[in-house]
Amino acid sequence: MLETDYDIKKMTSFRIGGKIARMYFPASIEEFVEIIEKEPDAFVGGNFSNILVSSDGYDGAVICTKRIDTIKFDGNIVTAGAGVRGTKLSKLALEKELSGLEFMIAFPGSVGGEVFMNAGAHGQMIADVLKSARVYCPDKGVVTLNNSDMEFSYRTSICQRKPYSVLEAEFVLISSTKDNIQERMDENLSFRQNKQPSLTLPNCGSTFRNPEGDSAGRLLDEAGVKGLKIGGAHVWENHANFIINDGDATSLDILSLMDEMHSRVKDKFNIELKPEVRYLGGKNEKEVEICRKLNLI
């Protein structure tokens, strides 16, 4: 399905974004391949939970995988399409008395994005449970990569270093009791509710990755960015690694705030924080300038 001049603002977690020239919503892997062969330069996204889309929009093509959402359980193996919400998958695993996906319980994103970035929390991460992933490679088409092929490390995978798109993932879980799984989920939910902003406050999750052996939140806190405001955006008062859209923020407001946060940590600690947020845009010269500085493009 193709929509032109698609208004993406309501779809993004930041509630920011202009119009997308060509927005595709394939409902299967086969449809995805058909579209991307026609639009080889298309940007691929899922639920846009950690993507900042420019308020000026995007002139190219975007493929959204949220409709590739099949789920299949086979014993302790679960196969999920890229568009399956992590929260939904963790709840279904609970019903099957299978443990391993408890960390996904409050994730706003989908399987494709979570595999792409090796998402994790509470001592668990995608690399711990992924058996294999079906990905689209421009030179080979759809191929299956096993866990080691994915080259997982902290918040990264091979898909961030090569133009690969995650279409489906296969996870190996372990049997447990509903009570044990639910207890762990409740602990995770409690932690997130106390330490991270609710999605009713438009935000994109953690703004920067933790540098090795340290915490981005600690560095940002000591750099004095809590409560810092630019335009319609501010750094959350309860945790310095979250940016909140107060309702009328633009993408330039967010990027300018990220730039200031990054600069303060660099000046104080000589540490270059790496963004966890991704960017889609390119029309606004000031945005492009900041994105280049932050290595977002």
How far apart, in whole angstroms, are the C-alpha atoms of residue 227 and residue 59?
34
SS3 label, residue 37: helix
**What's residue 206's pLDDT?**
93
**What's residue 232's pLDDT?**
98
How would residue 284 be classed by pLDDT, with cut points 50, 70 and 90? Answer: very high
Q: Which of 114, 168, 170, 276 is catalytic?
A: 276
Angstrom distances, CA of residue 146 to CA of 44, 110, 124, 127: 21, 19, 19, 10
**What's residue 191's pLDDT?**
83
Residue percentage of the chain with pLDDT more than 90: 90
| Catalytic residue check, 39 | no
Q: Which of 206, 251, 264, 287 is catalytic?
A: 206
- Please tell us whether the domain made up of 2-64 is placed in CATH 3.40.430.10: no
Q: Which CATH number fits domain 216-293: 1.10.1740.10, 3.40.50.300, 3.90.78.10, 3.30.70.260?
A: 3.90.78.10
Q: Where are the domains of the chain?
A: 2-64, 71-194, 216-293
Helix or strand (DSSP H, E) at 24? strand 19-24
Question: Is the pLDDT assigned to residue 199 strictly greater than 80?
Answer: no
| Catalytic residue check, 263 | no
DSSP codes joined into one string, 214-283: S-HHHHHHHTT-TT-EETTEEE-TT-TT-EEE-SS--HHHHHHHHHHHHHHHHHHH-----BSSEEE--S
Q: What average pLDDT score do residues 93-122 get?
A: 93
**What's residue 145's pLDDT?**
98
How would residue 169 be classed by pLDDT, with cut points 50, 70 and 90? Answer: very high
**What's residue 94's pLDDT?**
97
Q: Tell me, what amino acid is at 272?
A: E
Q: Which CATH number fits domain 71-194: 3.65.10.10, 1.10.357.10, 3.30.465.10, 3.30.750.24?
A: 3.30.465.10
Q: Kindly report the average pLDDT of the chain as a whole number.
A: 95
| Catalytic residue check, 155 | yes
Q: Which of 22, 85, 155, 278 is catalytic?
A: 155
Q: pLDDT digit string (tens) for 208-248? A: 999 999 999 999 999 999 999 999 999 999 999 999 999 99
How would residue 66 be classed by pLDDT, with cut points 50, 70 and 90? Answer: very high
**What's residue 178's pLDDT?**
97
How would residue 194 be classed by pLDDT, with cut points 50, 70 and 90? Answer: confident
Question: Is the pLDDT assigned to residue 77 strictly greater than 80?
Answer: yes
Query: Which residues, 6+ apart, have CB-to-CB distance to 119 below 8 Å?
Result: 86, 103, 104, 107, 109, 113, 125, 126, 155
Q: What average pLDDT score do residues 256-266 get?
A: 98
Neighbours of 184 (CB within 10 A): 19
Question: Is the pLDDT assigned to residue 182 strictly greater than 90?
Answer: yes
Least confident of 29-43, 179-193, 278-292: 179-193
